[in-house]
Structure 1
Amino acid sequence: MYLLRKWGYYHRKMRRGDFTRPTELMSDEIFNQTVGIVGLGRIGAAAAEMYHALGARVIGYDPVYNASLEPFLDFVDFETLIKESDIVQVHIPLTPENKGMFSANEFAKMKDDAILVNQSRGELVDTAALIVALKYHEIGGAALDVLEGEEKIFGRKFEDVGSLPDEYTELINLPNVVMSPHSAYYTKMAVKNMFL
């Protein structure tokens, strides 16, 4: 919702004292969006149900067909999903076959205002290609809870921010990116369940 409503751009403007609402920052309603879910296991299926409840058109891609999801989404192939989706949400495990499955080729096929949400594994997305796609408006935004090589960064505190890898600094400073340090799962219940 942060990206859909373009709040990053508004925050950047307001820090400069500009509290106007320009036409180019007008957003759309979620019920006018097509949401593509990549990976329809427990989490992907729950996301599909939530987006459906909000009135979005939901399409999904998964190698395993699950008829119980038909009331919430239409199954499509991966190519159709990336071309038709306004929001692409990723919920798949990392395998040698899908490493880098979101790269320059996929970003070029996505809508230029599409939002990529990755809560799965960082290595599913080619970070360098993502930065280019974001900077040159090949896609509209990215919400990232995971990143390539995150084990060197996430969970650590850097006294010298200048020592962060360039791609992390670039992503943090883009107004069309929301990033968290692999903390989407980080709730009291989830942590408790990890140790049961």
Structure 2
Amino acid sequence: MVGLGRIGAAAAEMYHALGARVIGYDPVYNASLEPFLDFVDFETLIKESDIVQVHIPLTPENKGMFSANEFANMKDDAILVNQSRGELVDTAALIVALKYHEIGGAALDVLEGEEKIFGRKFEDVGSLPDEYTELINLPNVVMSPHSAYYTKMAVKNMFFQSMTDIEWTLSGKKAFFKVN
């Protein structure tokens, strides 16, 4: 698990409950997660994980943090799951790693440069950007739209959190659901 904020921590706890050994990397240590996972450095996580699941924000420092070097150090059958931000993964390096079986596969909920396709209608897969077409055609890739936020419960929660923070802020309190 790369990134142990709310989402990463919740996923780690679920996987642990299912019997998985979970290792995690996050620059901020959180002792409350020790019952569910073992903290390791990023290099150890890359080398030892069967599945590398990503839940971190994009910053200038971590853009492209999954590139040729990381893929070369992953297990040949490891799966990369990116549910965070597309720019964390160097797409060209990922395609090479997948084609040459440096890693076993990828499950991508986000893609590098996906803003190029937002709001556009594509008549067929062939009119997508080349790297997307290449990923779609690889047998060891699963892609999905980054739309988990669009459930009834998620929209209800967004409304509740916004209204709560407005109320708290107007009454002189600090926002509870602040955004980084």
Q: TM-score range by the shorter chain?
A: 0.7 to 0.9
User: What's the CA shift string for 1:170-192, capped at 9, x where partnerless?
Assistant: 11111111101212333122133
User: Shift of residue 157 of structure 1?
Assistant: 2.8
Q: How does 1:166-177 map to 2 (within 5 A)?
A: 166-177=130-141
User: Shift of residue 83 of structure 1?
Assistant: 0.1
Report whether the alignment pairs 1:99 with 2:60. Answer: no
Counting matched residue pairs gives 160
Partner secondary structure for residue 88 of structure 1: strand
Cα separation, 1, equivalents of 2:95 and 2:118:
19
User: What's the CA shift string for 1:54-90, capped at 9, x where partnerless?
Assistant: 1111000001100000000000000000000000000
Q: How does 1:178-189 map to 2 (within 5 A)?
A: 178-189=142-153
Q: Give the 3 Å change call, closer, same or farther, for CA 161–146 of structure 1 in structure 2.
A: same
Partner secondary structure for residue 43 of structure 2: helix
TM-score by length of 2: 0.85
Between 1 and 2, higher relative CO (CA 8 Å, sep ≥ 6) is seen in 1
Contact 1:155–1:181 (CA<8 Å) still a contact in 2?
no
User: Shift of residue 194 of structure 1?
Assistant: 3.3
Cα separation, 1, equivalents of 2:146 and 2:133:
16
Contact 1:141–1:177 (CA<8 Å) still a contact in 2?
yes
Contact 1:145–1:184 (CA<8 Å) still a contact in 2?
no
Cα separation, 2, equivalents of 1:116 and 1:165:
21
Partner secondary structure for residue 81 of structure 2: strand
Q: 74-83 or 160-169: which moved more? A: 160-169
Contact 1:112–1:140 (CA<8 Å) still a contact in 2?
yes
Of all paired residues, the percent bearing the same amino acid is: 98
Cα separation, 1, equivalents of 2:54 and 2:84:
6
Stretches of structure 2 that go unaligned for 5 or more consecutive residues are: 161-180
User: Shift of residue 116 of structure 1?
Assistant: 0.3
Stretches of structure 1 that go unaligned for 5 or more consecutive residues are: 1-36
TM-score by length of 1: 0.78
Contact 1:134–1:176 (CA<8 Å) still a contact in 2?
yes
Consecutive aligned runs of 4 or more in structure 1 exceeding 6 Å deviation: none
Q: 59-68 or 176-185: which moved more? A: 176-185
Q: How big is the alpha-carbon RMSD for the aligned residues of Structure 1 and Structure 2?
A: 1.3
Structure 1 residue corresponding to 2:104, chosen from 119, 126, 140? 140
Larger Rg computed on CA atoms: 2
Contact 1:111–1:138 (CA<8 Å) still a contact in 2?
yes
User: What's the CA shift string for 1:126-176, capped at 9, x where partnerless?
Assistant: 000001101110000101000111112245431143221111011111111
Contact 1:100–1:124 (CA<8 Å) still a contact in 2?
yes
